[in-house]
Amino acid sequence: MATNPQDRARRTNDAWTAGPVYAMVRATVRCLLWPYFRVRTTGREHIPVDGPVILAPVHRSNLDSFLLSPLTRRRLRALAKISLFERQPLAWFLASLGAFPVRRSGADRESMRVARDLLAEDDLLLVFHEGTRSDGPRIAELFDGTAWLAAKAGARVVPVGIAGSGDAMPAGAKFPKPRRIRLVVHPALEPPEPRAPRSALKAWTAELESSLQAALDEANAGI
C-alpha cells in the first residue's frame, strides 16, 4: 500500500485509468481551449516521437502546461509542488495527467532525481526553465540544471515560445480571457556529453537560452 505522495502518484501514473483521463483532457484542450484562444502553432514536427525528451517552454501563465498537451500525441510528464497533492480528488487528477510531486525544501536534488527517473523511462518531461512565471518579451536567466539533466539522461531538449497566455490569464486571474495565443516549437537541441565539464554545460545553456528567446520572439511576432 502506498505510504507517501510519491508512491501514490506513481501508482496513479501507472494505472490503466491514467491514459483515458489524459486523452480526455488533451481532447478538451484541443477542441475547446485552442479555438477559444485562437491558438496557432508552428514547428510541432520538431518534437521527437520517441526517446527521452525535455520540453522546454517559456512560462507566462498557469494555462501554459494545459495548452501544450495537444502539440504531441505523447503524454506529457511534469513535476509539481507537493502541496497540490494533499487533497483528493485533485491529487488523483494531477497524477493521472502525469504530474509527480516534489517538495520545495530541498526540491533541486529531489526534482532532479525524479526527473532522471522519468526520463530513464523514455518519457516526455515538461520543464519550465525560468522557474516561475515571467512577464515581458525577454526570458528570465537560465541556470545549468537543465544542461546537467539533459546530459545525464541523454535527453534532447525542445525550446517552445508561448505568446499571449500571460494576457489571457495573468497572475491572480480566476478566469481566462479570449486572447490570441501563439505556440512556436524550435528544433530539438542534442544533449551535452554525459561527463561534460562545467564550461561545456554553461555554453550549452547559453545555446538553449538563445534558442528559447528566438522562439519567444517568433511567437510574439505572430500575435
pLDDT, tens digit, for every residue of 199-210? 999 999 999 999
Residue at 106: amino acid letter? G
Residue 136: its pLDDT value, please?
Answer: 74
pTM beyond 0.85: the answer is yes
For the cut 80, the answer to whether the pLDDT of residue 180 exceeds it is yes
Residues in the chain: 223
pLDDT band of 39, cuts 50, 70, 90: very high
More confident residue, 108 or 55: 55
| Cell, residue 189 | 537541441
Q: What are residue 77's DSSP bridge partners?
A: 125
pLDDT, tens digit, for every residue of 90-106? 999 999 999 888 776 55
**Percentage of residues of the chain with pLDDT beyond 70:** 95
Structural domain including 185 reads 42-79+102-221
For the cut 50, the answer to whether the pLDDT of residue 33 exceeds it is yes
The reply to whether 13 falls in a domain is no
| Cell, residue 59 | 512560462
The reply to whether 24 falls in a domain is no
pLDDT, tens digit, for every residue of 45-82? 999 999 999 999 998 888 998 999 999 999 999 888 88
Residue 133: its pLDDT value, please?
Answer: 65
Q: What is the mean pLDDT of the chain?
A: 89
Of the ranges 56-65, 83-92, 171-180, 210-219, which is most confident? 210-219
The reply to whether 90 falls in a domain is no
Longest dimension (CA), the chain: 51
Report how many domains make up the chain.
1
The reply to whether 53 falls in a domain is yes
Angle between the N-to-C axes of helices 198-221 and 145-153, in degrees from 0 to 180, rounded to the nearest 10: 110
The reply to whether 32 falls in a domain is no
- The answer to whether the beta carbons of residues 168 and 37 sit under 8 Å apart is yes
| Cell, residue 204 | 550549452
pLDDT band of 132, cuts 50, 70, 90: low
The reply to whether 15 falls in a domain is no
For the cut 70, the answer to whether the pLDDT of residue 127 exceeds it is yes
